[in-house]
Structures are given as C-alpha cells and as structure tokens.
Amino acid sequence: MKLEGEYLFNGPREEVWNIVRDPDVLATCIPGTQTLKQVNENEYEGAIGVRIGPVNAAFTGKLTVSDEIPPESCTLTAEGKGAAGFARGVGHVVLEEQGSDKTLLKYTGELIIGGKLMSVGQRLIDSVGKSMINKGFETLDKTLATRLAAKS
C-alpha cells in the first residue's frame, strides 16, 4: 500500500525536525499505550498497543531512522508484529520551510500490512490509516505548540 501526503505545521523547521526526530514524541501519535526504548543511536525498540474502537492490538517492534539530513529529511522504517498480524512501513519525510513560522511535512512511503489485520480488517484499513496519520500530525502539532509556548 502506497502512502503519500503532507501536513502543514505551525512552527519553524528546526522545531518540527526536533519533534519528528524524537521517537518519544512520535510514539504519542499512536492511539493506545507505548513503551519505546532507544537501543542505539538510530534504532528504537518497544511495545505498542494500538486502540481503535473495540480493537486493541499489541505489537512489538522497532523503529529505525536513516538517511538523515537534518533538518530537511529522513527515512523512518517501522516494523511491528503481534497476534493480530504485522505491519512494515517505510516512509521518507521531507520538511519544507514555508516562511519562518510554518513548515510543510511531505511524506511518501510504502506500508505492508499482513495477517488478521488484513484478512479481517481490510475494508477499514484505509479510513483507519488516514485517520491515524491525521490525528498523529495533529498531536505532533499540539506538542509543537506546547514546546513553542514554553520557549517564548
């Protein structure tokens, strides 16, 4: 499944970069509970509980950050698996400055979903996926606002 989209953040690129590059913050985007720990400079491992309506799926997995060009772009690779199936996603993220206080995040990627999530939940993946991505960005934007507010 191809992923593509963009989101306009209300903050300067450096700040947006810091947020995107912070897995602890990234983890808050996923509805549910998360524990992520850093295993080396660019790799994080942990458990994620995704909660969507009645569905609560526990995954263990890892997140890798590569091809970093701060504060412009990076590649995020996430892998998780659990009893409900597995997901593997690779996303390339580009941050573009839009004036001094806005940043456009563009992403392209590929998502593979397998197991029960797919065989049972296929028809919901599109709407749930879109919703998760949008809500995730909103959460990031809120965190950004909090950080910016704290700084000023």
Partner 1 sequence: METKYFGKRIQRNEDPRILTGQALFVDDVELPDMLHATFLRSDYPHARINSIDISAALARPGVIAVYTAKDMGDYWKPGPLLVPAPTAIPGVVFNKRTQVPMAREEIRHQGEPIAVVIAKSRYIAEDALADIVADLEPLDPVVDVEKALEPGSPLVYNDLGTNLASHVQQENGNYAAAAAQADVVIKAHIVIDRGIAGAMENRGLVVQWDPKSQHLTVWATTQAPIALRNGLSGILGLSESQVRVIAPFVGGGFGPKIMVFQPEEVVLTWASMKLGLPIKYIEDRQENFLAMTQERNQIHDAEIALTKDGKILGVKDVFVQDTGAFNSYALTVPLNTQTHTTGPYKVPNYYSEFRVAFTDRILVTPVRGAGRPYGVFVMERLMDLAAKKLGLDPTEIRRRNYLQPEEFPYRTGIIGQDFAKNILDSGNYPATLDKALEMIEYEQFIKEEQPKLRAQGKHVGIGVVTFTEGTGVGPYEGGRVTVEASGKVSVATGVGTQGQGHYTSFAQVVAEQLGVPVEDVRVVTGDTDQFHWGAGTFASRGATVAGNAIHAAASLVRAKILKLASKTLQVPEEDLVLENSEIHSATHPTTCIPLGELAVKANPSRGAVEPGAEPGLEATAYYGPPYGATAGGTVAMIVEVDTELMRVEIKRYVIAHDCGTVINPLIVDGQIHGGVSLGVGNSFFEKLVYDENGQLMNGTFMDYLIPRATDMPYIEIGHLSTPSPLNPLGIKGVGEAGAIPTPAAFAQAVENALADYNLEVREIPLSPNRLFELLEESKTS
Partner 2 sequence: MKPASFEYYAPTNVDEALARLAELGYGVKVLAGGQSLVPSMNFRLAQPPALLDLNNVQELFYIRPTSDGGVAIGTMTRDSQVEHDALIKEKFPIIAAAMHFMAHPQIRNRGTFGGAIAHADPTAQLPAVVLALNGRMRIRSQQGERWVAAEEFFVGPFTSVLEPEELLVEVELPPTPAHSGWSYRQMERQAGAQALVGVAVMVSLDEAGKCRSARIAFLSVGETAVLARQAAQMLTGQKPTAELIHAAAETAANVDIEPGGDIHCSVEYRRHLAEVLARQALTEAFERAGR
Residues that bind partner 1 (CB under 8 A): 1, 81, 83, 85-86, 112-116, 118-120, 122-123
Strand partners, 108: 4, 92
Please, what is the minimum distance in Å from the beta carbon of residue 4 to partner 2? Answer: 13
Interface with partner 2 by CB under 8 A: which residues?
Answer: 31, 51-57, 83-84, 116-117, 120-128, 130-131, 135
Please, what is the minimum distance in Å from the beta carbon of residue 72 to partner 1? Answer: 31
Smaller CB distance to partner 1: residue 23 or 85? 85
Smaller CB distance to partner 2: residue 51 or 72? 51
User: Cα Rg for the chain, rounded, in angstroms?
Assistant: 15
Smaller CB distance to partner 1: residue 81 or 106? 81
Amino acid at 109: G
Which one of partner 1, partner 2, none is in contact with 87 (Cβ closer than 5 to 8 A by kind)? none
Please, what is the minimum distance in Å from the beta carbon of residue 113 to partner 1? Answer: 7
Smaller CB distance to partner 2: residue 39 or 120? 120
- Interatomic CA distance for residues 93 and 26, integer angstroms: 13
Please, what is the minimum distance in Å from the beta carbon of residue 55 to partner 1? Answer: 14
